[in-house]
Homo-oligomer: A and B are copies of this chain.
Amino acid sequence: MKRTERIGAIIRILTENPSKAYALSYFSELFGCAKSSVSEDIHVASQAIMFTGTGSLETIPGARGGVRYVPDISDEEVLALQEEFCSKLRDTSRLLGGNFVYTSDIFYDHDMVSRLARVFARKFRDCCAEYVATVETKGIPLAYNVSHLLNLPLVVIRREAKISEGSTVSINYFSGSYDRLQKMSMSKRAIRSGSKVLIIDDFMRGGGSVTGISEMIGEFGGTVVGVGIAIVANEPEVKKVNDYSSVINLGKVSSEEKIIEAEPNRSLF
């Protein structure tokens, strides 16, 4: 196998499996070459990945050393994503009754979702989470993508207890968005007791839903180590959650005045 092909194959394997460590011996056996050659190949592979702005390769030193792909996104690309996101959101054809904003197309679009996921992967890569959790439905692709980039299992909390989830723990919480009590249920099999959990969701207004998820994690003896939300409404100013990271801040939304205000969160990093 030629050196250029080896480098290409290393890039493909590592970036297909983000945050997952591979021993150098894995590649030296795969290619039938010396570990020293693999080390040199990895150096070039890392340069190539860094050129694309999507991350870099991190080598783990020592006898049992290895390498893994660490996803990343540059400050410029974060800003470009935020601007593009805001400009999509400001489109007043998104206005729905009750001053809601239609966003499903954005959260089901893999280009937007995978860039947002790299933002959260950068933000939370050192938070030591063992799971990524979300509550159904619209945040699932984003939470799934983040869980992939951080090489963590995903947990999806349901609105209703389902027979296919087995025994569940259920809680009630007050949703400001819907101005009523809501329920959420999580399978007893979903996480190990005492786990560290990163919460990812598409939208937050008062924080009722995130508080509900946190309470649920608490029922499993777990700890919330990070909260990443794509869009956070400016109102109400006082949230039920203190510590969260938004990508976009949503200002005034009015069907009458035909306006949707959206701004990048400039203190994200």
Contact = CB atoms under 8 A, between A and B. Distances in A.
B11 A102 contact: no
Contact of A147 (B16, B110, B151): B110
Contacts of A9: 48-49, 51-52
A44 B2 contact: yes
The interface size bin for chain A is 35 or more
Contact of A5 (B44, B96, B102): B44
Contacts of A144: 108, 110, 113, 140-141, 144-145
Interface string A134-161: 0011101100110110010111101000
Interface in A4-25: 4-9, 11-13, 15-17
B140 A48 contact: no
A231 to B, nearest CB: 11
Interface in A213-258: none
Nearest to A152: B110
Nearest to A140: B140
A167 to B, nearest CB: 8
A49 B8 contact: yes
A84 interface: no
28 contacts: A3-B4, A4-B4, A5-B47, A5-B48, A5-B51, A7-B7, A8-B11, A9-B52, A12-B48, A12-B49, A100-B166, A101-B164, A102-B165, A102-B189, A104-B156, A104-B164, A104-B165, A108-B144, A108-B155, A109-B153, A109-B154, A110-B144, A114-B148, A137-B137, A140-B141, A141-B144, A141-B154, A144-B144
